[in-house]
Chains A and B, each alone.
Chain A
Amino acid sequence: MLSPERLALPDYEYLAQRHVLTYMEDAVCQLLENREDISQYGIARFFTEYFNSVCQGTHILFREFSFVQATPHNRVSFLRAFWRCFRTVGKNGDLLTMKEYHCLLQLLCPDFPLELTQKAARIVLMDDAMDCLMSFSDFLFAFQIQFYYSEFLDSVAAIYEDLLSGKNPNTVIVPTSSSGQHRQRPALGEAGMLEGVEASLFYQCLENLCDRHKYSCPPPALVKEALSNVQRLTFYGFLMALSKHHGINQALGALPDKGDLMHDPAMDEELERLVVRSKLHRTSRQHRAKEPGAFGFQRREKQEALERVSSASVPTPYHYRWEPRE
């Protein structure tokens, strides 16, 4: 913890790098907003809870987009929360449209901008037929790249376009936010016979970019790996490669590997408990409504549910709790 590098940085830089101020400001703001409620149980406890939730990654739930986007840690937490909450949708095998995914995002963050979701969808669909259905894992990984590295990607888009039009890549490039990606389409048309740009040249520019700017970029070594086996690439091809690269995913640390995407035993257990509870709740409601033969039905349901749960739970520490009580 007390690494020498940490002590070597001057105060403001250190605070800025760790985004400590963002969290402090947000904490105080939350305190002000919920003054009456919080005053009931003490400010110290509030701060404890707040920073605990920051550590656990639950602080971004149902918060406004400006906060969710504010720090890399927030972004990672958001991605992780999205994965955990809607993994079941993916597991169910449903293919959804971009708008539906956007809806799901909005459930967690009410003012999440459509633009970001659209950009993520473009990566998956390779900028084609925006109404197509996408699988959960495809969308999630593409969204991860787009959301976490959004500023980086904007600059990359500008660089790509410059390379396409033949400009000198080593001049200073100022990313012009979203317009960069919009100018893509006419440029692609003019590309002529060869699609995209040369991989090595492209990589050089990226390296310069990473050196120059402070916002997070994917580790250059991994980017090089992603570009290693192609001669030429298009913008979306590059993004797709990034999103599929395991190393980058692991470096981010938000989501598990693609293979494990649908696995979350702790949550699955929780889910089973909820399903059982809802079934009981529904049958008890029916019983209240005086439907015939309720008793036998009810008891059978309970037994069934218990049996099902005990079979579904793969070895977990809570296995023994589900033995039927004799």
Chain B
Amino acid sequence: MGIPPEREDVKQQVLYLSQITMKSHLLESPISKCPLYLACHHLKTERIQRDWERQGDAGSEGQKLTVCPIINGEDHLRLLNFQHNFITRIQNISNLQKLISLDLYDNQIEEISGLSTLRCLRVLLLGKNRIKKISNLENLKSLDVLDLHGNQITKIENINHLCELRVLNLARNFLSHVDNLNGLDSLTELNLRHNQITFVRDVDNLPCLQHLFLSFNNISSFDSVSCLADSSSLSDITFDGNPIAQESWYKHTVLQNMMQLRQLDMKRITEEERRMASVLAKKEEEKKRESHKQSLLKEKKRLTINNVARQWDLQQQRVANIATNEDRKDSDSAQDPCQIDGSTLSAFPEETGPLDSGLNNALQGLSVIDTYLVEVDGDTLSLYGSGALESLDRNWSVQTAGMITTVSFTFIEFDEIVHVLPKLKIKFPNSLHLKFKETNLVMLQQFNALAQLRRVDQLTIDPQGNPVVNFTLWKYYVLFRLSHFSMQKINGTEVTQNDMIMAERLFGILAHVASSELPQYRLISILGDARKKQFRYLLESKGKKPGIINEENNDSKRLVGENTNRATLNYTTRDFYNEKLEEIKEKKKFCKTYIEDLVKEATEINMKNEALQKLWPQMFIELVRDAVIEIRNKNSYMKLCLQQITDQK
């Protein structure tokens, strides 16, 4: 131990002391290495100690001290040892003002008190007592070692003045967090094992701290001990027994954040480990960034869809209000729109789920939340909101467009979708599955509009927002009208031969009537309309190739050939229909006046005819009479005729 041989008395005392320290559990604390402790002098402790030991050897507990004995005449005492007793209060030692070391390990002390005169005290051992609070240490400014392990302390306090303290042992207490450590400018070792610590603060205020033991606590994330990264003096740390040590990212996160460490969990850190740590940490960072981006995107998508949904609801309510106003007192029909609104609104409650604060801040950067959303996910193209329909005009790469087999429409009026179906047909030729949700499909007639597509294999009409699904016959009508598609599935269920036959049975006559009983000119005009529209669209679309036009021709020819009998069942959207009716009004007015004129003429002629019929006999008689009267006198008549002839010349 490096003591010069001349100092035999010191050696004896040191030996004795070291035996004592071996006996106690103080191996946990490196107090044995404290040089000052070894070098202190003591006189006459032996006597006291011996007295005590004799009492202890008797073996019965009744012979242990319950109070601090009054010690007279020992004012130069430096070391005092009261281990393994039943002392409940520290008292009767105020006169030992030269005391350097006080050992009260393993007693029943409930409160630190009675130490105010021990200004020279350097070592205070109060382990394994019942102390609930650190207090009354104000005057112990020279304190070098403070051992409070095995007590009931819940809070670190009242030690900020101990600027010479080098070792602080608070193991096996009830601490839940670590802070209030400022002022401990000499602290090199801090033992906090076996507590309930969840977070650590202020450690970066300890300029000399080298060893920090946090084993067997409740630390679960590195953020709760983030101050450790800022402590440049730390070289040795233990986290074993904490939840954080079970994490997959534990080791490399600690190593990455605390480059100054030399030892972790009592094991030296190798260069290899450090390298691995930085590599792994980089990968973690990448992954986190990616997932952060993903969650941002997802959040944005969710907000957009919510926004679209809200706009849709408002629009529906507005329409419903107009309808109810026009409908006057009919309470039945007034209820229905409200009910529909009620159900759609309840399906979209204001979702205020927990958002990461980081995400929230990032999103507030987005100044405008879109009113529509277009999403391509492998083979599905999803459109939310009517603004999304314009995206069909974009230049889609042939590859992307070719991969799309499913197109889904949500929160868009079906009538608006009808107008873009030709575009859909051309730009996404492989789209075989159509899905409609919240698109206001209310009439069977609307399905007629789907006939213009090239081919549909599957159709999904979500009951939400599509009242037509409530009708018993809707599936059969779809199968009937779109029989040329030979659909495989409707709303997920396979279409059987029986379904097709039933559809044909139910509506076949309609088709027959629609084709064979319409006069020729109407057939031509209805079919002609459809074909005219197609041509018009083709002429308008950019980048038309003659090949496409021929294809269109063939398509329509094929369609017409297969299904003339139902090709006349068309759907014109309400707006178009009303427009057409408006246009016809002018013509109707003209026709009315024209016919009226004709009728007037006809009736005039008729009247004249009837009048003539009535008057004719009379007129005839008069004509005959006049002629006879004229001819009665032959001579004068002959003269008259000659006169007339000469006059004519």
B-binding residues in A (CB < 8 A): 11-12, 15, 21, 24-26, 28-30, 32-34, 37-38, 41, 46, 49-50, 52-53, 56, 58-59, 61-62, 64, 81, 84-89, 92, 94, 96-97, 99-100, 103-104, 106-107, 110-111, 114, 118, 130, 179, 182, 267, 270-271, 274-275, 278-279, 281-282, 285
B445 touches A103 (CB 8 A): yes
Given the known A-B contacts A25-B591, A46-B521, are A271 and B332 also in contact in the complex, defined by CB atoms under 8 Å? no
From B329, B467, B525, give the contact of A37 (CB < 8 A): B525
B525 touches A34 (CB 8 A): yes
Interchain nearest-CB distance for B405 vs A (Å):
17
Given the known A-B contacts A32-B591, A52-B519, are A274 and B504 also in contact in the complex, defined by CB atoms under 8 Å? yes
- B-chain residues with CB within 8 Å of residue A267 when the two chains form the complex: 509, 512
14 residue pairs from A and B, CB less than 8 Å apart: A11-B607, A21-B599, A28-B595, A37-B524, A58-B519, A84-B509, A86-B509, A94-B472, A94-B473, A104-B444, A106-B444, A275-B508, A278-B501, A282-B486
- B-chain residues with CB within 8 Å of residue A278 when the two chains form the complex: 483, 500-501, 504, 508
- A-chain residues with CB within 8 Å of residue B594 when the two chains form the complex: 28
Q: Does B275 contact A (CB under 8 A)?
A: no
B506 touches A89 (CB 8 A): yes
Q: Does B517 contact A (CB under 8 A)?
A: yes
Interchain nearest-CB distance for A138 vs B (Å):
16
From A25, A92, A279, give the contact of B595 (CB < 8 A): A25
- B-chain residues with CB within 8 Å of residue A33 when the two chains form the complex: 525, 584, 587
B513 touches A61 (CB 8 A): yes
> Complex Cα distance A106/B447, Å?
13
From B473, B522, B592, give the contact of A25 (CB < 8 A): B592
- B-chain residues with CB within 8 Å of residue A62 when the two chains form the complex: 514, 518, 522, 526, 568
Query: Closest chain B residue to A178 by CB distance?
Result: B328
From A21, A26, A28, A92, give the contact of B506 (CB < 8 A): A92
Query: Closest chain A residue to B481 by CB distance?
Result: A107
Q: Does B510 contact A (CB under 8 A)?
A: yes
> Complex Cα distance A16/B599, Å?
11
Given the known A-B contacts A64-B581, A100-B471, A110-B445, are A49 and B519 also in contact in the complex, defined by CB atoms under 8 Å? yes
> Complex Cα distance A11/B502, Å?
53
Q: Does B333 contact A (CB under 8 A)?
A: yes
Q: Does B505 contact A (CB under 8 A)?
A: yes
**Residues of B36-52 whose CB lies within 8 A of A:** none
| Chain B interface, >50% SS class | helix
> Complex Cα distance A21/B591, Å?
10
With a 10 A CB-CB cut-off, give which of A88, A107, A182 has the most chain B CB atoms.
A107
Interchain nearest-CB distance for A53 vs B (Å):
5
Q: Does B330 contact A (CB under 8 A)?
A: yes
With a 10 A CB-CB cut-off, give which of B471, B526, B590 has the most chain A CB atoms.
B471
Given the known A-B contacts A92-B506, A111-B577, A271-B505, are A61 and B517 also in contact in the complex, defined by CB atoms under 8 Å? yes
- A-chain residues with CB within 8 Å of residue B261 when the two chains form the complex: none
From B471, B507, B606, give the contact of A99 (CB < 8 A): B471
> Complex Cα distance A66/B471, Å?
27
Interchain nearest-CB distance for B340 vs A (Å):
12
B519 touches A53 (CB 8 A): yes
> Complex Cα distance A64/B52, Å?
118
B508 touches A103 (CB 8 A): no
Interchain nearest-CB distance for A145 vs B (Å):
20
**Residues of B503-552 whose CB lies within 8 A of A:** 504-514, 517-522, 524-526, 528
> Complex Cα distance A104/B524, Å?
24
A85 touches B521 (CB 8 A): no
> Complex Cα distance A182/B333, Å?
13
Q: Does B588 contact A (CB under 8 A)?
A: yes
Query: Closest chain B residue to A38 by CB distance?
Result: B521
What is the total number of residues of chain B having a CB less than 8 Å from a CB of chain A?
63
Q: Does B359 contact A (CB under 8 A)?
A: no
> Complex Cα distance A34/B464, Å?
41
**Chain B 564-582 near chain A by CB (<8 Å), digits 1 or 0:** 0100110010000100010
From B330, B472, B518, B521, give the contact of A100 (CB < 8 A): B472
Given the known A-B contacts A61-B513, A107-B569, A271-B505, are A24 and B595 also in contact in the complex, defined by CB atoms under 8 Å? yes
Q: Does B497 contact A (CB under 8 A)?
A: yes
B521 touches A37 (CB 8 A): yes
B524 touches A96 (CB 8 A): no
From A26, A30, A49, give the contact of B520 (CB < 8 A): A49
What's the A-B contact tally at a CB cutoff of 8 Å?
161
Interchain nearest-CB distance for A101 vs B (Å):
10
- A-chain residues with CB within 8 Å of residue B329 when the two chains form the complex: 182
- A-chain residues with CB within 8 Å of residue B526 when the two chains form the complex: 62
> Complex Cα distance A32/B506, Å?
36
Q: Does B443 contact A (CB under 8 A)?
A: yes
B513 touches A84 (CB 8 A): yes
Q: Does B343 contact A (CB under 8 A)?
A: no
> Complex Cα distance A41/B525, Å?
13
- A-chain residues with CB within 8 Å of residue B467 when the two chains form the complex: 99
B486 touches A285 (CB 8 A): yes
- A-chain residues with CB within 8 Å of residue B501 when the two chains form the complex: 275, 278-279
From A53, A58, A86, A114, give the contact of B510 (CB < 8 A): A86
Query: Closest chain A residue to B590 by CB distance?
Result: A32
B483 touches A271 (CB 8 A): no
- A-chain residues with CB within 8 Å of residue B599 when the two chains form the complex: 11-12, 15, 21
- A-chain residues with CB within 8 Å of residue B562 when the two chains form the complex: 281
Given the known A-B contacts A94-B473, A279-B501, are A274 and B591 also in contact in the complex, defined by CB atoms under 8 Å? no
B606 touches A11 (CB 8 A): yes
- B-chain residues with CB within 8 Å of residue A46 when the two chains form the complex: 521
Interchain nearest-CB distance for A80 vs B (Å):
11
Q: Which 4 A-B pairs have the closest CB atoms?
A: A274-B508, A49-B519, A58-B517, A11-B603
> Complex Cα distance A285/B500, Å?
13
B500 touches A282 (CB 8 A): yes
> Complex Cα distance A1/B497, Å?
53
**Chain B 581-610 near chain A by CB (<8 Å), digits 1 or 0:** 100100110111011101100110011000
Given the known A-B contacts A37-B528, A53-B519, A182-B330, are A29 and B584 also in contact in the complex, defined by CB atoms under 8 Å? yes
> Complex Cα distance A313/B482, Å?
28
> Complex Cα distance A56/B16, Å?
131
**Residues of B290-309 whose CB lies within 8 A of A:** none
> Complex Cα distance A59/B513, Å?
12
B500 touches A274 (CB 8 A): no
> Complex Cα distance A29/B583, Å?
12
Interchain nearest-CB distance for A21 vs B (Å):
6
A107 touches B517 (CB 8 A): no
A96 touches B497 (CB 8 A): no
> Complex Cα distance A91/B513, Å?
18
B591 touches A279 (CB 8 A): no
15 new A-B contacts, CB < 8 A, other than A87-B509, A275-B504, are A12-B603, A24-B595, A29-B584, A37-B524, A37-B525, A37-B528, A38-B521, A49-B520, A64-B581, A96-B471, A96-B472, A103-B444, A271-B504, A271-B512, A285-B486
> Complex Cα distance A306/B504, Å?
17
- A-chain residues with CB within 8 Å of residue B509 when the two chains form the complex: 84-88, 267, 270-271
A274 touches B584 (CB 8 A): no
> Complex Cα distance A88/B509, Å?
8
Interchain nearest-CB distance for A106 vs B (Å):
6
Interchain nearest-CB distance for A289 vs B (Å):
9
> Complex Cα distance A282/B495, Å?
12
Interchain nearest-CB distance for A38 vs B (Å):
5
Query: Closest chain A residue to B583 by CB distance?
Result: A33
A49 touches B330 (CB 8 A): no
Given the known A-B contacts A15-B599, A103-B445, A282-B486, are A61 and B514 also in contact in the complex, defined by CB atoms under 8 Å? yes
> Complex Cα distance A32/B514, Å?
23
A270 touches B521 (CB 8 A): no
> Complex Cα distance A15/B472, Å?
45
Interchain nearest-CB distance for A40 vs B (Å):
8
Given the known A-B contacts A29-B588, A50-B519, A53-B519, are A110 and B572 also in contact in the complex, defined by CB atoms under 8 Å? yes
Interchain nearest-CB distance for A273 vs B (Å):
9
- B-chain residues with CB within 8 Å of residue A81 when the two chains form the complex: 513
> Complex Cα distance A38/B519, Å?
12
